[in-house]
Amino acid sequence: MGRNSLLTLALATLVVVASCARETTPRAETGSAASAASAASSVTAGSTGTTDPHASLACAQCHEGGLADHREPAVPSRACTASGCHNDNVVGTVRLATVTFNHRSHVSDSTVAIGCAGCHAHRAGGQPLTAGAETCGLCHAKELSQARGDDCRLCHSDPNWVGMTSQGVPIPHQDLPWIEGGCLRCHYEVTHPVHEVSLTRCAACHQNVEAVTRQGIGEDLHPSHTGITCASCHEADNHRIEAMSSAVDLRCANCHAGVHGTDTARDSVSPSTCNTCHGGVHRDPQRMLLGLLPDSVAATPSNHFMNGLTCRSCHRPDTGTGNVTTSQACVDCHRPEYATVLKWWQQGLAERMRLVDRYVAGAERVTAGSAPTDSAAEAVARARATLALLSAGGGEHNIPLAQRMFGDALRQAADAYRLVGRTAPPTPSMGRAPRPGLCTYCHYRLGELVISGQMNDAFHRSVVGRGG
């Protein structure tokens, strides 16, 4: 192997094995030139008004470690655990971002020696000390690289984030009963931590980068870099969501290319730009697919969504139908026998909509003289809003949820009758509840008589066996 090949291999080994390319000189003793140079300074509270308990300390009381060619000296853990500081009152359990963990033993089983300064740091200029989650993935790379949907809950055990879809539908993660095992259904691409360190990072502290890299080839540089934050060498923000399901993060350009005289895909037109004029165009269909209703706590996502389908699975811009779903989309994923299911759904929805609309209209007539803030008027208004959402959102996106919404509208209208002292008329039958794997999930038309003798027995057995 030639000299150039050896040099190339050595440098590659440095990048992969070293994992950190910032080396400090041996620790300076108290009273050294490094300490004396910084003794006159002190950490002050940030401009935000945050009170930092370190504000009264001289810099050298913490920055008493090794000193590189330039930048501040390191902060060894002994400076934090010294008598009178954090020796006896280290916090036990802490919460960082969305993760709760044992702070005292957090790095006890780590293969890399990480001091307090590995996570806790402050910006130059006297900003308060903070601890961020930007570099957590460096140590938890194994858990992240092999993550399944339920693995997310090991750290994100109490997800209270309320995100927004591209159409403005709020997603309260804390109220999602189906988030167990399902995180990757929406967050299907999460970055994996990058351990390699760019040699340009070394230049931030070392003047002679070539000499540093030559000395560090094949060595673990972590022991000589304790007392500095991980982000000094490693890229920060190395665990974040890279891609979302298109059912959540609709990209307008996927279906609407070349509108307004521009190539929306080429020019990377964002949904927020389109929403300026077309705000919430697909909000109601998105609500139906994700099962997120405005007044409902429990989410009931579509069976299709939970099995991996997105909007473009059925709405195909390349079929010449103007993005309108046809029965061919059903056949392509299922079998030819499914060609009529979409029509049955649409017929069943139309039948129920007529019956419920007529019932709600009756409630509107008996409450016509009520004030808008009256309980009866509010009840019938909710019923009408439920039907409006169902009509705009398309019950085909979520047949079980549509069935529930029909029932909700009927109950709300019946309540309006009672609130004005009238006896509510009998509510019309909505038929049997459609459940995946059962006959009613496909055969959704009211009054449809399913005769077992007319069925393809082998086909229906296979459908019921795999839940639809």
Three-state secondary structure string covering 244-275: CCCCCCCCHHHCCCCHHHCCCCCCCCCHHHHH
Judgement on whether residues 330 and 385 belong to the same structural domain of the protein: yes
Cβ-contact 22, 219 below 8 angstroms: no
Cβ-contact 207, 259 below 8 angstroms: no
The pLDDT value given to residue 451: 56
Q: Which domain holds residue 400?
A: 282-468
Helix (H) or strand (E) holding 95: strand 93-96
Judgement on whether residues 318 and 214 belong to the same structural domain of the protein: no
Judgement on whether residues 288 and 227 belong to the same structural domain of the protein: no
Q: Which two tokens stand for residue 95?
A: 């919460």
Q: Which two tokens stand for residue 386?
A: 């439920």
Is 150 within a domain?
no
Q: What mean pLDDT do residues 330-354 have?
A: 91
The pLDDT value given to residue 414: 97
What is the DSSP track for 133-152?
STTHHHHSHHHHHT--GGGG
Is 7 within a domain?
yes
Confidence of residue 32 (pLDDT cuts 50, 70, 90): very low
Q: State which of 98-102, 106-110, 208-212, 348-352 shows the largest mean pLDDT.
A: 348-352
**Cα maximum dimension of the chain:** 97
Number of domains in the chain: 2
Q: Which of 288, 293, 285 is nearest to 303 (CA)?
A: 288
Is 35 within a domain?
no
Judgement on whether residues 209 and 308 belong to the same structural domain of the protein: no
Confidence of residue 204 (pLDDT cuts 50, 70, 90): confident
Q: Which two tokens stand for residue 239?
A: 């665990």
Rounded CA-CA distance 398/292 in Å is: 11
| pLDDT tens column, 293-319 | 887 667 788 888 888 888 888 887 666
Q: Which of 345, 336, 363, 381 is nearest to 422 (CA)?
A: 363
The pLDDT value given to residue 294: 83
Q: Is the pLDDT at 27 greater than 50, yes or no? A: no
Judgement on whether residues 234 and 322 belong to the same structural domain of the protein: no
- CB count in 10 Å sphere of residue 395: 23
Cβ-contact 94, 101 below 8 angstroms: yes
Q: Is the pLDDT at 401 greater than 80, yes or no? A: yes
Give the number of residues written for the chain: 468
Q: Is the pLDDT at 1 greater than 50, yes or no? A: no
Percent over 90 (pLDDT), the chain: 20
User: What own/partner pairs with CB < 8 Å and gap ≥ 24 does 370-375 have?
Assistant: 370/420, 374/419, 375/419
More confident residue, 193 or 434: 434
Sign of CA dihedral 262, 265, 270, 274: positive
Helix (H) or strand (E) holding 242: strand 241-243
* Four-CA torsion 261, 265, 270, 273, nearest 10 degrees: 10
For the chain, the C-alpha Rg in angstroms (whole number) is 31
Judgement on whether residues 319 and 467 belong to the same structural domain of the protein: yes
Rounded CA-CA distance 408/414 in Å is: 10
Q: Is the pLDDT at 169 greater than 60, yes or no? A: yes
Q: Where is average pLDDT lowest: 25-34, 74-83, 244-253?
A: 25-34
Mean pLDDT (the chain, rounded): 75
Judgement on whether residues 220 and 119 belong to the same structural domain of the protein: yes
Confidence of residue 122 (pLDDT cuts 50, 70, 90): confident
Q: Is the pLDDT at 423 greater than 80, yes or no? A: yes
Give the residue from 183, 217, 238 where a domain finishes.
Answer: 238
| pLDDT tens column, 234-271 | 877 667 777 788 788 877 777 777 777 777 665 667 77
Rounded CA-CA distance 353/357 in Å is: 6
The pLDDT value given to residue 41: 36
Confidence of residue 410 (pLDDT cuts 50, 70, 90): very high
Q: Which of 244, 230, 136, 232 is nearest to 190 (CA)?
A: 244
Q: Supply φ then ψ for residue 88, to 5 degrees.
A: -115, -10
The pLDDT value given to residue 243: 75
Judgement on whether residues 229 and 85 belong to the same structural domain of the protein: yes
